[in-house]
Amino acid sequence: MATIAVIDYGMGNLRSVGKALEHVDARSRILVTDDPATIRRADRVVLPGVGAIRECMAQLRRLELDAVIREVGSNKPFLGVCLGMQALLTTSEENGGMEALGMFPGEVRHFTACFAEAGVPTPGKVPHMGWNQVRQTRAHPLWRGIPDGSWFYFVHSYFVPLLDDAWTAGMTTYGLEFTAVIARENIIATQFHPEKSQTAGLALLANFTRWDGTA
C-alpha cells in the first residue's frame, strides 16, 4: 500500500488535509507524522500550514524537519499548502523578516505594503479571505480535469510575488497578480487550501495522489 505523509509540526490544518486525502484516495495510507524516518519512507509528502512563518520555522527546526523537507523535496512527489508553500521560499518579511527553507528563490511579501508600493487601491480586506479564481499559466499533471479559472479558497495576508514563468503554474489577482501555484520537477505548492476548495480542490488532491512527480 502506498503512503502519504502529512507533516505534523504542531500547527496547520492537519485534520482537514488528512481527511480530504482519505476521501480522494482509499488506496493509500495517510500518515500524519513528525517522524523523520516515516516521512522519508513515504511515497508522497504534504507540508500543510496555517499561522505565522516564525512559529512554523521554529517548529520545523526544533523537530529537525527542515533538513528532511529539503531531502524529500528533492526526490518524491511533494505538495505544500498555504504557509507550507510560503515556507519553501528563501525569506518572508513576516515577523520583521524571517529566513525560510530556501527551496525556491524569492521573498514572501505583505499585501498592504505591496498595494502601496504599486499604487493600486486596496481591493478589499487583508487578509485575502474567501474564494478567488486561479488562472493556469502552464500545463501540469495536477491540473488534469480542472477547468482554467476554477475557484479556490484562500486565507492569507502574505503572498508570493510572481516568480519565474518556469516555476509559476497558477496565478491569482487580488489588487495585483501573485503566484497561486508554484511547481518545479517533483514539487508543487498552492497558496490556496485545496482541502477547503470543494470540487476543484478535491480534484487537485486526487491528482496529487496519482502523480509520479514528473511534469
Query: Which residue among 82, 128, 140, 156 is the active-site one?
Result: 82
- Catalytic-residue membership of 82: yes
CB contact set of 36 (below 8 Å; sequence gap of 6+): 64, 65, 68
CA angle at 52 for the pair 23 and 118, rounded to the nearest 5°: 105
- Catalytic-residue membership of 114: no
- Catalytic-residue membership of 56: no
Query: Which residue among 56, 94, 156, 195 is the active-site one?
Result: 195
Query: Which residue among 128, 140, 156, 193 is the active-site one?
Result: 193
Catalytic residues: 82, 193, 195
